[in-house]
Amino acid sequence: AALVYSSQKQIGAVLAAQFMSGALRREDVFLTSKLFHGEMPGLTRRGSTLPLDNMTPEECADAIEGQFEVILEELGVGYVDLMLLHWPAIMDSKSEGNAARRLAAWKVLEDMYERGQARAIGVSNFSEHHLEQLMRDGAKILPMVNQIEAS
């Protein structure tokens, strides 16, 4: 699931029915979601992405907290098993603020992890450079997963 995929409400409805019927328990399901997706006009729906290049790190952190809450609400669960930052920045962005926004978003995930709202936290589509920069700039927790698309 991910906000940008518009699938969480449907997944949440199916899970609620399965949990209520007793067919599944929450611990039977491993839920992964993603947030922190930059705008991609023509490819993403409005409201599921962020205008990252135009955001301060503080605005980014606030937006990520809001996205995290929406994800939990739409899935109808109190925690996800894995939460990922969807992208390190907007595609082909050269904005000097990218590293600070990544760190601000990552710190929100660290907080959610420490509060038990995410059992694991990670990233998606990050290069080795992005990971090294994240740790150098002040991340306390090394990403537990780096999901990479391969075809």
37, 44 contact by CB (below 8 A): yes
147, 108 contact by CB (below 8 A): no
101, 57 contact by CB (below 8 A): yes
Nearest-Å Rg of the Cα atoms of the chain is: 15
What is d(CA 59, CA 73) in angstroms, rounded to the nearest whole number? 21
* Core vs surface per residue 112-133: b (16+ CB within 10 A) or e: bbeeebbebbbbbbbeeebbeb
Active site residues: 5
What is d(CA 117, CA 79) in angstroms, rounded to the nearest whole number? 4
What is d(CA 109, CA 75) in angstroms, rounded to the nearest whole number? 17
